[in-house]
A and B are shown apart, each in its own frame.
Chain A
Amino acid sequence: MFTMTINQQQVTAREGETILEVAKRNHIQIPTLCHLEGIHQIGACRICVVEVEGAKSLMASCVTPATSGMVVRTHTPKVRKARKVLYELMLSDHPTDCLHCARSHDCEFRQLGEVLQVDVSRFAGQRSKNLVDTSSAAIVRDNNKCILCRRCVSVCNEIQGVGALNAQNRGFGTSISPGGDLLLGSAVCAACGQCTLVCPVNALKEKDATKMVWDALADPELTVVVQTAPAVRAALGEPFGMPPGSLVTGKMAAALRRMGFDAVFDTNFTADLTILEEGYELLGRLAAGALANGAVTREQLDTLNLPGHLPQPVLPMITSCSPGWIKYAEHFYSPYLDHLSSCKSPHMMLGALTKTWYAQKQGIDPKRLFVVSVMPCTAKKYEVTRPEMTTDGIANVDAVLTTRELAQMIREAGIDFTHLPDELFDSPMGLSTGAADIFGVTGGVMEAALRTVYEVVTGRELPFEQLHVQPIVGLERIKTASFQFADVKPEWSFLEGVTARIAVTSGLAGAAHLLDEIAAGQSPYVFIEVMGCPGGCISGGGQPRPVNDDVRRKRLEAIYREDEGKPIRKSHENPDILTLYSEFLGSPGGHVAHNLLHTHYTVRSRT
């Protein structure tokens, strides 16, 4: 601890803090633009410059360390003039179509102009960039609007370890792009959309699906079905002014009904289904391993309710709900794709069931069914375009909206969201357990799976307080735990005493670490959960901005609150799931389930 002076005010600073951090703690607001706490701190835009006594030039406060006795002035005429000139220079290479720009309401560049009180734009000249890249199914890149802050570069390279975007060329010719003549659609982009979360302007955004959905809703020939992912309900309130961590499950269902959807289903229903399919797949892989090394006989296995054809005994098995993670694995770890669970993601399962089971029950031609998924995710937009995601030539899901897009549509429909009553989802795919709720947060799929797998094998509840596997709860990048199968049911005797080690990671850089262990033959785990976005779906690429660790924690708590408030908290006890199996699917991993609910993967280039 030491003291320094900011604007004639004596303040204390901690070792290692920047001027900006000290100022912020002392309620002195230095404007910033490219700065993103903990993620992007390179002083690229220089909007945060301050005067430091004794320094030759203005200093970028976000990268200048505070030192003892330092004398700083943050808003002198010289500083304010410099900021305005910098702003005007950036503005000279930025379109001023704010009246019809989708980011106008939360554009950080526009907001900064207001703070700096820039009222002229003196510099007019050539524009450096004009590319609008719509090649990706998930993300649109509008380089006209890019202000070269490089936040997306930091997130894509440092946090996600993907490197689909970097600065190309130099000077006035600089642009942020995948390199060469590549467009995003053919680059190694995982479609995670973390870049769209941090972009301060409208240069990176999801590909619009709202028009397609409005058209479907207006088409009298179509029955339009909607489903909502677990993480959407923990964030949809934010665009309507509700604080982060507000749960709006009931209002969301009410809003969707008022928008004109014919059935409002819940992706959480098929999250429960995923647990049964994926749980039994894991048990199948363990059984296949035991069979291969003679620990169990074929006859004993036949008494178990395992998939008809046992899967290959490849361990660790890795979750497959996150399409950004899947695409990343296909690009960078293609030799290890057999570790991925063959389960489709929950919203694809719901789509497949809507156009088969539900269509049959309702007597609707599947071609006249239009399925919309509301997802916290941009990669889901890409996922629905994969050729595997069809049944009998009919797409499982027709359109994917992000949480942000749904909020926009609710506003457009004139619905006063905060005053809506709480309503329920529709049957038969609306009921879910607490296990499904936690799919929206890092560690949740693992915990949900363990609640079922442990109980199937031992006949007892998972031995953790409140069923929460505490070591895998939270925002750390890699979390691990282990438990032992003890006093198992007689038919599972081959698992008696087996210690299962598990790992959970969110964000693709963490996934790379766990995959490198597998590649080196040193992975000690039987089961790994990967979510492509840091924190899991609660901070997916399609969620409302801004997202930081504080917001993540509040959404995470909301998700666990939703789980704890449910009367049923284990997927295998969801009565509607049991009905689905007895009426239509047969058994987990059975013939029908295999055709509709499972998929395969594609080897892709790592460049």
Chain B
Amino acid sequence: MAQHCDCQTAVIDEQKAYQTLMQVIEDYDRKPSNLIQILHMAQAIFGYLPEKVQRFICEQMELPFSEVSGVVSFYSYFTTQPKGRHTIQVCLGTACYVRGGKKVLDALKGLLEIDVGETTPDRRFSLEVKRCIGACGLAPAVAINNVVHKRVNPNKLQDMLSQYE
């Protein structure tokens, strides 16, 4: 079997991603009223919404960049930063909050040296906050890559994170 170098694969992947996005825009009839849905899909395809992807959407939909960027920056769901290999979601629903979720979050911020919504420079972790992940009996809960860690101790986070490279 022929060997592909990674960068070639990346180029092909990016082309495919834009083709998929193009299809999404067409499926949504290029209607400005469907912008939010299209951005959702675009984020699913690329993992985040860098300026290049936003500009592509602007050109295809004939929308001003300031408008698309305005929508992207308004909703906290959208991110213009690439995601890390692992996504940490700290639950701050009522139960987790009263049982120390905030302390867990602060400890994680300190440990990773990033804020909520950001990704570590080595792209290992992204940090997010969720409002109740439905694991109130396990509070305070943290989900990493959608796997729930129960009764997280803010002093023992290093052990938990070391499982993820």
Contacts and interface: CB of A to CB of B under 8 A. Distances in A.
B59 interface: yes
B30 interface: no
B63 interface: yes
Contacts of B70: 166-168, 179
Contacts of A166: 64, 66-67, 69-70
Contacts of B58: 606-607
A51 B69 CA distance: 37
Contact of B65 (A157, A167, A170, A179): A179
Interface string A395-419: 0000000000000000000000000
B92 interface: no
Contacts of A187: 65-66
Interface in A157-202: 157, 162-170, 177-182, 187-188
A607 B73 contact: no
B68 interface: yes
A177 B74 CA distance: 13
B74 A607 contact: no
A607 B67 contact: no
Given A180-B51, A180-B54, A607-B55, A163 B63 contact: yes
Contact of B59 (A163, A167, A606): A606
Interface in B28-86: 51, 54-55, 58-59, 62-70, 73-74, 80
Nearest to B80: A180
Interface residues of B, number: 17
B54 A188 contact: no
Nearest to B68: A179
Contacts of A177: 66
Contacts of B73: 168-170, 179
Contacts of B64: 157, 162-164, 166, 188, 607
Interface string A91-111: 000000000000000000000
> Interface range on chain A: under 10, 10 to 19, 20 to 34, or 35 or more?
20 to 34
A477 B129 CA distance: 50
Contacts of A181: 51
Nearest to B69: A179
Given A606-B59, A607-B55, A607-B59, A168 B69 contact: yes
A188 B69 CA distance: 14
A164 B51 CA distance: 16
A188 B63 CA distance: 12
Contacts of A170: 73-74
Given A607-B55, A607-B58, A180 B74 contact: no
Nearest to B63: A163
A166 B58 CA distance: 14
A163 B74 contact: no
A226 B67 CA distance: 40
Nearest to B75: A170
Contacts of A167: 70, 74
A160 to B, nearest CB: 11
Given A606-B59, A607-B55, A607-B58, A164 B74 contact: no
A179 B67 CA distance: 8
B66 A178 contact: yes
Contacts of A178: 65-66
Contact of B74 (A162, A165, A169, A182): A169
Contacts of B68: 179
B59 A164 contact: no
A179 B64 CA distance: 9
Nearest to B54: A180
Most buried by B among A164, A177, A180, A606: A180
A139 to B, nearest CB: 14
A490 B62 CA distance: 49
B65 A188 contact: yes
Most buried by A among B59, B64, B69, B80: B64
Contacts of B67: 157, 163, 166, 179
Interface string A150-162: 0000000100001
Given A169-B74, A607-B55, A607-B58, A180 B63 contact: no
B66 A179 contact: yes
B4 to A, nearest CB: 32
Contacts of A182: 65-66
A317 to B, nearest CB: 25
A170 B117 CA distance: 15
B18 to A, nearest CB: 15
B38 to A, nearest CB: 16
22 contacts: A157-B64, A157-B67, A163-B64, A163-B65, A163-B66, A163-B67, A164-B64, A166-B69, A168-B69, A168-B73, A168-B74, A178-B66, A179-B65, A179-B66, A179-B69, A179-B73, A180-B51, A187-B66, A188-B64, A606-B58, A606-B59, A607-B59
9 interchain residue pairs of minimum CB distance = A163-B64, A179-B69, A166-B66, A179-B66, A166-B70, A607-B65, A607-B55, A169-B73, A607-B58
Given A168-B69, A179-B70, A180-B69, 16 more contacts: A157-B67, A163-B63, A167-B70, A168-B66, A170-B74, A177-B66, A178-B65, A179-B68, A180-B54, A180-B80, A182-B65, A182-B66, A188-B64, A606-B62, A607-B55, A607-B59
